[in-house]
Amino acid sequence: MLQHTQALRQSADPRSFLESELIRHPAHAAGSGPRTIAPPRSRWFGPICVTGEMDMAARPELVWAWLIRAGKWPTWLFHVTNMAVLRGHGPDLELGTQFRFRVRNVGIRADVQQFIPERRLAMTARSTGMIAHRAWTLEPSVRGCRVTVEDRSVGFVAHARALLSPTQTSDLQLLWLCSLANRARLGPPP
């Protein structure tokens, strides 16, 4: 089952809104890293928030293996190109990895902020006019693995895209989820 929700939120005081909208995850036990990851802050607008979820017929360890093998993203995501690790020990993402890539000809620089093996991957990505926070959460399910993707973005490009093409972010999430499910069903990445 796939669910997508999108909300454009603007607040007179974005700081108080953002503080109330921190991403919380139960996998953060005391001493195992930060308990929350705040979405990017914007001085003028609240974040654009999009969440997608899919129950995949693949084991969590296979979904995870494809998700963190960022160098292979261009082989299964047609709109991702020019992947390069800037800092890290690749080929797999890990906490602190910095990398760049292009999505539909837009250059993006990202860094991994949170890494809980086979459970949660979160990163902050920046491009001209936009800062985004994306988190993937994996949970075992009856079918195999439930994957939830949370996107929170700010900036004039994020808001223009939300106004001009309101389903673009959720459409890209759907593409990511379906492509990831298809790859994970094939077995581990090379």
Asked if CATH classification 3.30.530 holds for the domain at 2-69+118-185, the reply, yes or no, is yes
- Please report the pLDDT score of residue 146 as a whole number: 96
Peptide bond connecting 91 to the previous residue in cis, omega within 30 degrees of 0: yes
150/18 Cα distance (integer angstroms): 15
Residues 26-49: pLDDT tens digits? 333 333 322 334 444 444 567 888
- Please report the pLDDT score of residue 45 as a whole number: 61
149/52 Cα distance (integer angstroms): 5
CB 131, CB 154: distance < 8 Å? yes
Residues 140-172: pLDDT tens digits? 999 999 999 999 999 888 888 787 877 878 888
Backbone phi, then psi, for 182, in 5-degree steps? -65, -45
Give exposure, 116-144, as e/b (b: 16+ Cβ within 10 Å): bebbbbbbbbbbeebbbbbbbbbeeeeeb
- pTM of the predicted model, to two decimals? 0.75
Q: Which residue has the tokens 């006019």?
A: 129
CB 55, CB 143: distance < 8 Å? yes
**Portion of the chain with pLDDT greater than 70, in percent:** 76
Backbone phi, then psi, for 111, in 5-degree steps? -140, 140
CB 35, CB 26: distance < 8 Å? no
* Residue 137 CA: distances (Å) to CA of 1, 112, 168: 16, 14, 21
Residues 46-81: pLDDT tens digits? 788 889 999 999 999 999 999 999 999 999 988 899
Provide the residue type at 93 as one letter. L
